[in-house]
Structure 1
Amino acid sequence: MKPLISIVMPVYNCEEFMEESIRSICEQTYTNWELIIVNDASEDRTVEKISEIKDERIHLINLEEHQGIGSAFAKGYKFAKGDFIIRHDGDDISLPTRLEIQQSYLNDNPKIGMVSCLISCFTRDPSLRNDCIFIERIQNYYKGNEEIEKSIIAGFLPIIFPTLMIRKELMDKVNYDSKNSLFDDQTELLLELIKLSPVEKINTILYSYRRHKDAYHFVNQKEYTKYTCKLLKDPSIRNSFQFKDFYKDLNFNVQRKIKLNEKSKLRVLMLIDALNIGGTETHVLNITKRLMDMGVYVVIATSGGPMEVIMKSYGIKVIKIPIDGDYISNKKKFGMIKILKTIIDEEKINVIHCHLFASMQLASELYRMYKIPYVVTIHGLFYPNNIFYSTCIQASKVIAVSKPVREMLYNKLGDKIRDKIAIIPNGISRDLVNNSHTDIDIREELNIPKSAEILCYCSRLDWNKTNVARVLLFSFAQLLEHYSNIHVIVIGDGTGRESLEKEAQVINEMAEREVVHMIGAKVNVIPYYLQSSIIIGTGRVALEGMMCGKPVIAIGNQGYTGIVTESTKDVQWNMYFGDHDALEKPNVKNLLKDIRHLLIRKERAITIGRWGKSWCENMFDIDTCVKEIAKIYINALNNKGRL
């Protein structure tokens, strides 16, 4: 038996066109389908017209009250039994081979979750013929997934929802029933689906799209256009395309419930500008998870970003707020404070922990207006002076993640802040390896021989870290002259990735095989570290590499600090592995020397790896770090009246 296709057709006052639409389904060459017609409380002869068509595959659901296309579709979808789903409009027509061709395409392309097609646009109204010509041409211009993604990023949605055939397993991952759209349409549902799966168009006209002046999109054209444009500006759409390699590592089948410790007297608002992929965001994720495990009530307020999905996958409550830059004007600040105060009241927040520029400004203003205590974490040396003066002095406590950060704060703010600074490093879990999917065979995935040495560099590919990656690639090109069986993996994304990929391509062409692997951002980097010979990076990457028992060469934004060993550990910590201070600028000569040292003296490299793991467990244990943070929260509450 061929797979069942469920077609859900919401209809409302559609007597004029509906019979033609239904018969286009009945005449399909693919016969194993069910048509679920949802009559959305029509006031004309819609039900009578449906009753005239006799086919046991047609099922009618009558709603007592008019609810709209989205709600009617959701009602019908609950009865769908098929492996594939189509939402058909009651005034459009599917060509006879549509079901057969689309089902065959999905069957042949198991990684594609849905497929669209080309359209013909037709009308009986002469005044709409030019509209039809334009709609047909522009919709049919965008065919491949890459073209479709670029179009959406540019602000145009080149897919008409009823043209889609969707795998039911994909539909079930979207909470379509909760989409209370301002418009009676399913653009939001379509965009949610696009975040989860690529979409292609079959290069054949399989759907006839009717235009008439009673159509919903025609009647509400101006408002609907504005609304759609607003939806397409949502950064989560762009993130879903830009970080699709990152997202594909996620298990979307795991739907964890939000975990909130309602009885906790300590209620924290973790305030962070955005949830991009980087050390700051990973730190916020890890301390939030640990605080929640300790029984603390924590929610995150943010503008969102690619890490938002990760946060939610751990049961963390994320509340979206419209932060759209590093600095907030006085005009916007008033509206933002109003939004945050509502969140604070609803969540019964009694302390704020802020992390980046805009968040620090907002936390400071909330303290000024409502005396809500706040804690600041300074994650690096990249904060502008005016942010410090306006936010740190009134904070209950300022956490510096390294000694160089503390010294910077002392130098800028002096005695005004001396007693408020605490050094708490980015913590690392002793169970880091145990909690990761370590059964992934990276060598098989990247076609790297089992005997090959692997260098692994991980970083956001922006700012000075792009230059660090470039130094590594230049060094690696020279290594290839003496080591034929060596590979390098570069994990990360950012504005510098494209130029680095071109340089990687040159090296691969010179080697006549792929030896440089640019793999983008990854949710779980631990399997890559475990199967590598040497880890190269800074900050959290250095800590994770050591926790995996690997030798680490530290190199970061500020420069080079070399191999992390027992004899250099104080220098490394004082300079935060080259990210906040350095011995010298990154250079090919020193990096080559240290890589060769570790490759030649393998027993020494193993010893360094073992020591590094032990040092990490003692010096950077996340449980110890989070307990210190929790004490700071409690002291902030106890001293609230004396700040």
Structure 2
Amino acid sequence: MSSNQPLVTVLMAAYNTERYIAQAIQSILNQTYSNFELLIVDDCSSDNTVNEIMKFDDSRIKLLQNQINQGVVITRNRALQEATGDFIAIMDSDDIAIPDRLQLLIDEFIKRPELALIGGHADVIDPQGIPTGQKFKVETDPDLLRHLLFFGNNFTHSSVMIRMDIFREFNGYRIPLAEDYDLFLRISTKYPVANLDKCLLLYRDHTSGISKKYAVELENQILPIKENILSSLNLPSDIKHQKMITPPFDWSGISIDEYKRFYIQLLNRINPTNQSLSFKTYQFIFQKWYEVIMNNCGKKALFYFFSKPFFGWKYITAKQFRRALKKSVKNLLS
């Protein structure tokens, strides 16, 4: 990269956000780290969004406009061709980045060059910008994060930064509504990912936001994501196995031994080198197995409680043991 090119491309997709986009843009221009371009892609807004963008006179801003409304996936994927940075930082047009967000992420990439993707926590604000007291806390243990992602998203989308070559390798976003989770999960199966234990932005919560208004549509996108990722890992990918890793879990119609075989296969794909994992990760692995046996076993609950590779004396609690014992005894006597 030549010296006059930015190291970071901040990508902001915009559609009818005239009320908030100026704050979002200003929070990027105010960053303590300055070697960036701000690539704003307007998806044919029908309000004054573009006028708000044009009020800024800063050479780091690059505005692109879709001729027709394309949706968020195509809009964000314009970065595949237009971005010039080595890193791409996602920024939603109604959120507010903290002043050292970019610096913190770049510093972490320099410290840990093996990472492909880094995110962080967020504090929630309401539509007026008033803090709600709610926080989006993401997992910062890298081992546990890798496992958690198979069950659901654990990144705050508008906080993440991705190596641009990896963003292009995975061809950007694919699935509307759950496009972020789909991309992050795919990346995590091939490269190390992480979250900083720091708040990186103020996330604006709208009571009529996409995740609430289109909750059913969003749910319908999750199973295809699970199907794709299981298939890519050469694991059973039928609807039954998709639901084994998709909350809320459906415990009916699947035997305990089917669960066991599948979870062992899944763990072997997540950790193919069988490296030693963090204590929290082993606890999580057992907790998932514990949920399976407590919802799928009767008198053999205690027998399956001790199943390898899930069980370990260090990773269980006395309460879990008592409940499994109680369930076994209760079903023996019934």
Higher relative contact order (CA 8 A, sep 6+): 2
In the alignment, is the contact (CA less than 8 A) between 2:11 and 2:39 conserved in 1?
Answer: yes
Gaps of 5+ in 1: 238-303, 309-319, 326-461, 463-492, 498-517, 522-643
Q: Could you tell me how far 1:207 is from its partner in structure 2? A: 1.3
Question: Deviation string for 1:428-461 (max 9, x for gaps)?
Answer: xxxxxxxxxxxxxxxxxxxxxxxxxxxxxxxxxx
1:515-550 Cα shifts (integer Å, max 9, x gaps):
xxx9559xxxxxxxxxxxxxxxxxxxxxxxxxxxxx
The answer to whether the 8 A contact 1:120-1:207 is kept is: yes
Corresponding residue to 1:90 among 81, 89, 93: 93
Is structure 2 residue 185 aligned with structure 1 residue 191? yes
> Could you say what secondary structure the match of 2:58 adopts?
coil
**What SS does structure 1 have at the residue aligned with 2:78?**
helix
| Equivalence map 1:486-635=2 (5 Å) | 519-520=273-274
CA contact (8 A) 1:73 1:87 kept: no
User: Kindly tell me: are residues 28 and 226 of structure 1, through their superposed partners in 2, closer, same or farther at Cα, counting changes over 3 Å?
Assistant: same
Asked if structure 2 preserves the Cα contact closer than 8 Å seen for 1:7 and 1:86, the reply is yes
Within a 5 Å distance, the mapping from 1:321-470 to structure 2 comes to 322=238
CA deviation after TM superposition for structure 1 residue 494, in Å: 6.1
Equivalent in 105, 128, 152 of residue 149 of structure 2: 152
2:167 matched residue in structure 1: 171
Separation in 2 of the partners of 1:495 and 1:48?
50
What are the ranges of 5 or more consecutive residues in structure 2 without an aligned counterpart? Answer: 242-260, 276-334
Identity across the alignment (%)? 23
> Over residues 456-477 of structure 1, what are the superposed CA-to-partner deviations in whole Å (9 max), with x where a residue is unaligned?
xxxxxx9xxxxxxxxxxxxxxx
How many residues of Structure 1 are paired with residues of Structure 2 in the alignment?
248
In the alignment, which of 52, 67, 75 is matched to residue 64 of structure 1?
67
Counterpart contact for 1:28–1:97, Cα < 8 Å: yes
CA offsets per residue over residues 571-608 of structure 1, 9 Å max, x none?
A: xxxxxxxxxxxxxxxxxxxxxxxxxxxxxxxxxxxxxx
Q: Residues 7 and 33 of structure 1 are in contact (CA less than 8 Å); yes or no, is this contact kept in structure 2?
A: yes
Partner SS for 1:106:
helix
C-alpha distance in 2 between matches for 1:127 and 1:86: 24
The residue matched to 1:41 in structure 2 has which SS? coil
Quote the Cα distance in structure 1 between the aligned partners of 2:240 and 2:71: 33
Deviation at 1:150, TM superposition (A): 3.0
Aligned to 1:224: 218
Whether the aligned pair in 1 keeps the contact of 2:14 and 2:45 (CA below 8 Å) is yes
Paired residue type of 1:236: I
| Alignment of 1:114 onto 2:117 | yes
Query: 2:17 is matched with which residue?
Result: 14
Q: CA deviation at 1:151?
A: 2.2
Whether 1:162 aligns to 2:144 is no
Residue aligning to 1:74? 77
- The one-character-per-residue Cα deviations of 1:49-79 (angstroms, maximum 9, x if unpaired) are 0000110000100111111111101113311
Q: In structure 2, do the counterparts of structure 1 residues 141 and 76 end up closer, same or farther at CA, with 3 Å as the change threshold? A: closer
**CA distance in structure 2 between the partners assigned to 1:76 and 1:495 by the alignment:** 33
**1:306 equivalent in alignment to 2:233:** yes
Q: Distance in 1 between matches of 2:216 and 2:6?
A: 40
| AA matched with 2:233 | P
Residue 324 of structure 1, CA deviation: 5.5
Aligned alpha-carbon RMSD (Å): 3.2
Secondary structure of the equivalent of 2:137? helix
**Cα distance in 2 for residues equivalent to 1:127 and 1:34:** 28
Cα-to-partner distance string for 1:219-275 (whole Å, 9 max, x where unaligned): 2134324533x25644736xxxxxxxxxxxxxxxxxxxxxxxxxxxxxxxxxxxxxx
Aligned mates of 2:232, 2:54 — CA distance in 1 = 49
Tell me the CA shift for residue 44 of structure 1.
0.1
CA apart distance, 1:144: 1.7
Whole-Å separation in 2 of the counterparts to 1:188 and 1:235:
9
2:49: which partner in 1?
46
The residue type equivalent to 1:43 in the other structure is S
For 1:395, the equivalent position in structure 2 comes to: none
Aligned pair in 2 of structure 1 residues 214, 306: CA closer, same or farther (>3 Å)?
closer
Tell me if structure 1 keeps the 8 A contact 2:182–2:225: no
SS of residue matched to 1:50: helix
Contact 1:120-1:209 at 8 Å conserved across structures: yes
Partner of 1:280: none
What TM-score results when the alignment is normalised by the length of structure 1?
0.35
Q: Which has the larger radius of gyration?
A: 1
Whether 2:194 is the aligned partner of 1:200: answer yes
Residue in 2 aligned with 1:105?
108
Aligned to 1:490: none
Q: In structure 2, how many angstroms separate the alpha carbons of the residues matched to 1:25 and 1:97?
A: 9
Question: Is 1:211 aligned with 2:209?
Answer: no
Give the Cα–Cα distance (whole angstroms) in 2 for the partners of residues 192 and 186 of structure 1.
10
- Tell me the equivalent position of 1:488: none
- Return the offset for 1:495: 9.8
After TM superposition, the score normalised by the length of structure 2 is 0.66
The residue type equivalent to 1:96 in the other structure is P
| SS of aligned partner of 2:229 | helix
Give, in whole Å, the separation in 1 of the partners of 2:169 and 2:66. 25
Amino acid at match of 2:31: Q
Which residue does 1:430 correspond to in 2?
none
Contact kept, 8 Å, 2:138 with 2:156, in 1: the verdict is no
Shift in CA distance, 193/208, structure 1 to aligned 2, threshold 3 Å: same
Q: Any conservation in 2 of the 1:70–1:184 contact (CA below 8 Å)?
A: no
